[in-house]
Structure 1
Amino acid sequence: MFAGVGTLINVVAILIGSSIGILAGARITKKSQSLITDVLGLITVLGAASALSPLWSPTFEAALPKSSALLVILASMLIGGLIGSALSLETRLDAFGENLRKRFKASQESPFVEGFVTASLLFVIGPLAILGSVSDGMSQGIDQLILKSSLDFFAAMAFASTLGWGVAASAIPVAIYQGFWTIIGLAAGSVLSQYQIDAMTICGGLMLVGISLRLLDIKRIPVANLLPALVIAPALATLLHLIK
């Protein structure tokens, strides 16, 4: 197998799952679609809880100065949010989704952009996207990406039944993001230590909370503006680890 085959499988799974969801969506009532979205919001909360669990991991706490684990996450989210706001990442991602909507010739009333943004953030956030892609690049197997592909397949099916082709379009940023980490794994071998991955995963968990709040119509948090925290978190964790 070639490097990147895991990401290719993931992209195909999203496209097939989305297509099935769209075909099924036409036969689902609006009340049922709303219920599906609510269930997805609750499942996303469950995924967020899993991603947040490393915050209380003895391994993560031991890698940092005493009582600094929560401060690393707080600082990463604040700094990342400020950078993302300054770069208008949420607006840019919305604009990218709008351009894709026009290319797909979807109506303005369709939830194309919402589907694209929500699915893109959901599919790229989490340890499997990074760990699986790096492992793929290092030729250590694609088991993690196969697992992620299975999860994304069913998530894409459910999301697309209510949010349409925007979910399928999310395969583009997934390919770019995971392709980047595959190249990193191919060129540099083992890139991140466990505590660095934990810091990134915890921030991703908080973003999943933001996504769930959007899905449940509780609060529309500009989650895309927080994405730089995924880079800031391991960097801050490394700095504190070195001065410990």
Structure 2
Amino acid sequence: MVLLGTIVNTLAIMIGSILGNLFTKIPDRIKHTVTHGMALVVVVLGLQMGLKSDQFLIVIGSLALGAVIGEGFELEEKLNRLGRFLERKVGNRGEGNIASAFVTGTLVFVVGALAIVGALDSGLRDDHSVLFTKAMLDGFFALIFSTTLGIGVIFSAIPVFLYEGAIALLATKIETFVPQPLMAQLINELTATGGLLIVAIGLNLLNITKIRTANLLPSIVICILIVTGIFYLKPLI
């Protein structure tokens, strides 16, 4: 079953989010300390991912152009409006709003080599071991995040399912049309770009700054375009 790994990963996030949201009587001081501890983990994770880049100028360009596009479309505000709408429908018991919980969960669960490599393994070799491992990690993060950020984390299961599922289903076509060297570059630069967004999330959780992370999301798409463009134009220069 091609989507088995994706389904398990999605369910792990949902179950972790639900379990975390049940812990409503934890004292605020414990919640704050746990949040700060997880924020430090997120920062370190993001830094490790950020160092994967082979051409850091691509990451810089992606973030710069992505920020311009994100600010132009006011993605952060649109997500906040969506979050407020969902809060009225389902409620939120966490410290943050649903939009920030959704963005936090989505970036941590979607960005990175495990999601891409695991989904490709599922689609090409019917090997779900990478996604099973990722499911355990994501389930734990979802539990902790939902304890402090609220039920909004559960909505990050949707992009995880769509993203990993699409890669798994299209794996054979991806392998046919995307050369292996290009795929390796995409994984490295996407991981690095996403890693810096995860660092931004960690800094926000630590209340060190307030970076409008959602407005940086277009940098992921820009990164794909830049890497692909350089790969195919480089032989012509």
TM-score range, shorter chain: 0.7 to 0.9
1:186 Cα deviation after fit: 4.7
CA contact (8 A) 1:214 1:221 kept: yes
**Structure 1 residues 154-212: Cα deviation after superposition (integer angstroms, max 9, x where no partner):** 11111111122111222122222323323332543364521121111110111011111
CA contact (8 A) 1:138 1:186 kept: yes
Give aligned pairs, total.
230
**2:82 corresponds to 1:92:** no
Q: 2:64 aligns with which of 78, 94, 117?
A: 78
Q: 1:225 aligns with which of 205, 215, 221?
A: 215
User: Root-mean-square deviation (CA), in Å?
Assistant: 2.3
Instruction: Measure the CA separation in 2 of the matches of 1:187 and 1:241.
Output: 19
Letter in 2 for 1:211: I
Report which stretch shifted further, 71-80 or 121-130. Answer: 121-130
CA contact (8 A) 1:126 1:204 kept: yes
Q: Match of 1:53? A: 51
**2:201 corresponds to 1:211:** yes
Letter in 2 for 1:42: L
1:140 Cα deviation after fit: 4.1
Task: Provide closer, same or farther for how the CA distance between residues 231 and 27 of structure 1 changes in structure 2, counting only shifts above 3 A.
Answer: same
**Structure 1 residues 40-76: Cα deviation after superposition (integer angstroms, max 9, x where no partner):** 1100011112202223xxxx3xxxxxxxx22211111
1:91 Cα deviation after fit: 2.4
1:153 Cα deviation after fit: 0.8
Report which stretch shifted further, 25-34 or 223-232. Answer: 223-232
Task: Provide closer, same or farther for how the CA distance between residues 93 and 111 of structure 1 changes in structure 2, counting only shifts above 3 A.
Answer: closer
The SS at the match of 2:208 is coil
Q: Match of 1:15? A: 14
Letter in 2 for 1:43: V
1:3 Cα deviation after fit: 1.9
Instruction: Measure the CA separation in 1 of the matches of 2:209 and 2:2.
Output: 40
Report which stretch shifted further, 27-36 or 119-128. Answer: 119-128
CA contact (8 A) 1:21 1:160 kept: yes
Instruction: Measure the CA separation in 2 of the matches of 1:86 and 1:106.
Output: 29
Instruction: Give the unaligned 5+ runs of structure 1.
Output: 61-68
CA contact (8 A) 2:94 2:150 kept: no
- TM-score calculated relative to the size of structure 2: 0.86
- TM-score calculated relative to the size of structure 1: 0.84
Instruction: Measure the CA separation in 2 of the matches of 1:196 and 1:108.
Output: 35
The SS at the match of 1:54 is coil
The SS at the match of 1:240 is helix
CA contact (8 A) 2:107 2:194 kept: no
**Structure 1 residues 111-157: Cα deviation after superposition (integer angstroms, max 9, x where no partner):** 43332232222222222122222322224411221121111111111
**Structure 1 residues 61-94: Cα deviation after superposition (integer angstroms, max 9, x where no partner):** xxxxxxxx22211111111221222232222322
1:100 Cα deviation after fit: 2.5
Q: Match of 2:40? A: 42
CA contact (8 A) 1:197 1:234 kept: no
